[in-house]
Amino acid sequence: MLLSVYACAPDIPHNPDQGPVAHDLYGCLLRSTVPSKVAFFVDAPAWNRFRVQGRGASNQASCSLQFCAGRNSAQTGEVSMPMSLESTLLFSDTLPGGATWSHVLKRGTALRITDVEGGANVAAYFLNFDNRSERFNLPDTLKAQHTARLRQGHVLFSDMGRVLCSITEDTVGWHDPIAGISNAGLIEKKYGKTSYQQCRNEWYQNARDGFLIELGKYGMGPRDLHATVNFFSKVVVDDLGNMQYVSGNSPAGSYVELRAEMNVLVLLNTSPHPMDNAPQYAPKPVELSVSRVPMPMRDDRCRTLCPENARGFVLTELYFL
Amino acid sequence: METANSTSSLKLSRLTPETALHSFTIEAGDPFVFEILEGQHLRIVDLKGNQAVDTLFYNAKDYSDRYSAQDTIREQGNIYLTTGTKLLSTEGHVLLEIVADTCGRHDTLGGACAAESNMVRYDLSKRSMHACRQSFLKGVQAWKHGMDKSDLTSNINFFMNVPVTPEGKLTFEDGVSEAGKYVEMRAAMDVLMVISNCPQLNNPCNGYDPTPVEVLIWDKHV
């Protein structure tokens, strides 16, 4: 979240068109920082009320600000932000359909994936960047949380009993962890054969090849690619065990946010879900944004979801002692 | 509706133990690593009942091409393994096919227990209890060929019952197996098998009493 400070005269409503007028001491647009206090000054001595506003995120909020005595002609002050506001957008980018992306998501930051158009599928895989033999373990994740679907409050466990990422925000409610990823044979069988020579970058890509190439950039290979998850997609299982893909699971604007609990190498691929029954190869783009976010407190939703998660956070915190 | 898990999946084998080429008894808590050649039949027998047999398979010519739980269940459209299931590798090869099954349902979503996952699931004090991934590591380290933790992927749990509900809940239930039940596979290529006969004492996957299992192997032309 981008946090801006507006200054306004007493009893005069703030006019958003004026934009932010406060700057931090380095002359930049004021942004939230860790720890939760920021200093600012405003070059408008007659004004004695300020408004702090969070922008660009779901937890939009505003809080009032203590006025502090001026120094020279400038007003200076300090604002204590509620923890929910303490979030800074670091960067954002768009990942086209059929593409692969990786990033070392640092502990204390979060990745938000937004399904801009609706109907996206994002295959994802996670490793501890500082010890790459520790990686996402799908069965441990499912059985610890007694679930075969992922949603807000769930965490992604490594094979070492630690939490790689927590699903802190989620507007979808069902992400598929069981159906795996597409491969070259599956894509060709469903959509036909393409070549780069003929189609250039419109060629049909698949998640397995994308992940293997991306892992190769970090010195890893096929032995390092274990079970994955699919964000925004839904596969239900009936009483006999039959699996069924459910289309239309993710409307436009849906998002999921992953908070890194260690330095996590995140790999994403936007190829079609392997059970998607659409006849055309038309993978959707997603928007990616990384923010600095508060560390999980005692009452954190993911930590308190179940006793298993609480123990997973303890083991993760032990790792950083 | 005919499905892979109707009672029709129960199928007896025509093979008799007397004609087997190899016979091994694996005690609970032990690893077992063995190569099975293309065309050979492999039978795993739940001698005392309710015993989870955590199993991994690899292409014997290339261990980086290995059993894939996600590809196997997706391609057959069903999360349970039984007669007719083709066990697929990460590169799309059929490693083995289940040709007989007197149990009817085997799990491949529940994974293998570990010291670390026991700490998460039950209590931090469970660290020192024996677990499948201890056995898996011991087994692949003894087998050598450069195998290590990277080779421990999502496994099969023969005789284990891990139902998923239509609402997406996953639970560990009492086993559906009984003493003498077995599952039999035909190797479609040369494969390496790595077994951990599960030592878990914290949940009902072994009926809280881990017991030995038997592995039988018949030659191709028996």
C-alpha A299/C-alpha A305 separation (Å) is 10
Which chain B residues are within 8 Å of A277, Cβ to Cβ?
A: none
Neighbours of A89 (CB within 10 A): 18
Q: Are strands A254-260 and A109-115 parallel, antiparallel or unpaired?
A: antiparallel
C-alpha B45/C-alpha B102 separation (Å) is 10
Q: Under the phi-then-psi rule, with left for phi > 0, alpha for psi from -120 to 50, and beta for the rest, what region is A125?
A: beta
- Residue A13 in this model has a pLDDT that exceeds 50: no
Cis before A296? omega within 30 = no
Which chain B residues are within 8 Å of A311, Cβ to Cβ?
A: 119-120, 123-124
Mean residue pLDDT across chain A: 82
- Residue A277 in this model has a pLDDT that exceeds 90: yes
- pLDDT for position B8: 64
Sequence ranges of the domains in chain B: 29-218
- CA of B73: which chain A residue's CA is closest? A179
Name the more confident of A249 and A40.
A249
Q: Do B3 and A240 touch (CB under 8 A)?
A: yes
Tens digits of residue pLDDT in B75-111: 999 999 999 999 999 999 999 999 999 999 999 999 9
Tens digits of residue pLDDT in B54-66: 999 999 999 999 9
Tokens of A149: 């679907």
3-class DSSP assignment, residue A24: coil
Neighbours of A53 (CB within 10 A): 18
Task: Write the CB contacts of A317 (distance below 8 Å, at least 6 apart in sequence).
Answer: none
Which chain A residues are within 8 Å of B136, Cβ to Cβ?
A: none
C-alpha A185/C-alpha B91 separation (Å) is 9
> ipTM higher than 0.90?
yes
From chain B residues 19-78, the ones with a CB under 8 A of any chain A CB are 63-65, 68-71, 73-74, 77-78
User: Are A284 and A270 contacting, i.e. CB atoms less than 8 angstroms apart?
Assistant: yes
Tens digits of residue pLDDT in A181-212: 999 999 999 999 999 999 999 999 999 999 99
The alpha carbon of residue B20 is apart from the nearest alpha carbon of chain A, in Å, by 33
CA–CA distance from A94 to each of A91, A212, A257 (Å)?
Answer: 11, 21, 15
- pLDDT for position B51: 95
Least confident of A87-91, A161-165, A208-212: A87-91
- A-B contacts at Cβ under 8 angstroms: 142
User: Are A137 and A148 contacting, i.e. CB atoms less than 8 angstroms apart?
Assistant: no
The alpha carbon of residue B90 is apart from the nearest alpha carbon of chain A, in Å, by 9
Q: Quick one: CA torsion of B144, B146, B151, B156, rounded to 10 degrees? A: -20
What value, to the nearest 5°, has the Cα angle with vertex B198 and ends B195 and B199?
Answer: 135
Tokens of B62: 């290339």
Tokens of A51: 């408004």
Least confident of B54-63, B140-149, B174-183, B186-195: B174-183
Selected for mutation to probe chain A from B64, B74, B132 (highest A CB count within 10 Å) is B74
Tens digits of residue pLDDT in A110-155: 999 999 999 999 999 999 999 999 999 999 999 999 999 999 999 9
For A284, counting Cβ atoms within 10 Å of its Cβ (0-12 exposed, 13-18 middle, 19+ buried), the class is buried
- Residue A271 in this model has a pLDDT that exceeds 60: yes
Tokens of A153: 């409050």
Q: What is the DSSP letter of A18?
A: G
Helices (H), chain B: 69-76, 115-121, 132-143
pLDDT band at A73 (very low <50, low <70, confident <90, very high): very low
Q: Do A237 and B79 touch (CB under 8 A)?
A: yes
Q: What percent of chain A is modeled with pLDDT above 70?
A: 73
Among A185, A243, A312, select the one facing B77 at the smallest CB separation: A243
Buried b (16+ CB within 10 A) or exposed e, A225-236: bbbbbbbbbbbb
